[in-house]
Amino acid sequence: MPSSQLKEKTAGWVNWMKQHSLPRWGAEGINPENAAAYEQFLFSGAVDSSAPMRMRVQARQMYTFSMASALGWMDSVEAKRIVDGIAGFSMRYGQHPSGEGFVHILAADYTIADSKRDLYDHAFFLLSCAARYKAFKDEAALALAEQIITFLDREFGQVGGGWLEGDYDTDRRRQNPHMHMFEALLSLHNATGNGKWLARAGEIFGLFETRFFDAKFGVLREFFDHSWTLLEHPDADIIEPGHLMEWVWLLRWYERVSGHNTSVYADTLYEKALTDGFADDGLLMDGVSPTGEVIKGTKRSWPMTELVKASLVQAQAGYVGAEDIALEALNRLEEAYISREHLGLYVDQLDEHSLVIGDTAQASILYHLLVAVMVAEAHCA
């Protein structure tokens, strides 16, 4: 039974999402001329209409407003209007000139600034398709998901498993876009009930077991060469505590729907992040070494949302004390990152001394916040 403190804190977060953040991003955060989702708000609280636009942000905002509708956190007609508008904008301006896939970045005038097709971006378009189908039974979104996965398999699929980074040259392959492909495929299975999506998620779980998970140090590796061998580069030593937590949540999700026991991995990653990941102020750091030395002492907001999610699924799996960790994470997330001056907004990153880095509220963070609150509300139900 969730504690009364966790229920109260979660209710406050749900109210913040429903009354402040979603309304602000759904109104001021949408360009009324073409229905695009803006990239960010400025420190002043005004929207930044001059920033280049990442197409992955369009996908994340479609996911966010679709799930807000599915959760009953906003009016479904209004949510669908916003999502349909972003979807139409994405097809008009963001579709690759070849007609397959989406470009990477648009300039502020909505011309193509970077035409590369990136796996990470497309993982979020798949995720948005799942949410659109779940919330609105949007058959066009499901058809788009089929088109995207077919495109990815044909153009980027590899014999060694997974996909290339995209249609551009790079010395590496990353677990990160594959983690979000795992999330998208699990979401498509959840939305449709079709086992083929779960089977595809199982392929990525196989990559996690054989490539991403490092049993020697109990960590998640980030960067590999094209044969899935650990990259010979200083970046190969970077361990992201936030990603460890994100995988804990995904592994427990996969366990629930597949029946495959993931406890040995989930517990190991969770304990490693708890042991090595925290700064003195109780926030997760951006990067440590496999043995726990600090590499990046900065602290982005999203790892704390992943700590909430991981702790709650660990609590459900019987991990003693995890629910208390989730409550503390919700408290620290609110204290350190949520704006008091501009309702519904937040900051993205703090430095080693807990001072704010940058002066914008990134649209991309709203997805992380929404999912954390969604998981907390479900836990407390």
Distance, in Å, from the CA atom of 153 to the CA atom of 313, rounded to the nearest integer, reads 31
> What mean pLDDT do residues 342-349 have?
97
Task: Find tokens 């991981």 and name the residue.
Answer: 310
- How much is the pLDDT for 159? 78
Q: What is the mean pLDDT of the chain?
A: 97
pLDDT in tens, 113-165: 999 999 999 999 999 999 999 999 999 999 999 999 999 999 999 878 999 99
pLDDT in tens, 71-108: 999 999 999 999 999 999 999 999 999 999 999 999 99
What is the bridge-based pairing of β-strands 287-288 and 294-296?
Answer: antiparallel
Give the DSSP per-residue string, 251-298. Answer: HHHHHHHH----HHHHHHHHHHHHHHSB-TTS-B-SEE-TTS-EEE--
For residue 314, is pLDDT > 90?
yes
Radius of gyration of the chain (CA): 20
Distance, in Å, from the CA atom of 307 to the CA atom of 242, rounded to the nearest integer, reads 7
Task: Find tokens 């990559």 and name the residue.
Answer: 207
pLDDT in tens, 221-250: 999 999 999 999 888 899 999 999 999 999
- How much is the pLDDT for 158? 87
Q: Are 286 and 314 in contact (CB under 8 A)?
A: no
pLDDT in tens, 44-63: 999 999 999 999 999 999 99
**Confidence category of residue 358, pLDDT binned at 50, 70, 90:** confident
Distance, in Å, from the CA atom of 112 to the CA atom of 105, rounded to the nearest integer, reads 6
- How much is the pLDDT for 241? 98
Share of the chain above pLDDT 70, in %: 100
**Confidence category of residue 297, pLDDT binned at 50, 70, 90:** very high
Q: If we measure between CA atoms, which residue out of 246, 242, 250, 244 comes closest to residue 301?
A: 242
Distance, in Å, from the CA atom of 99 to the CA atom of 104, rounded to the nearest integer, reads 14
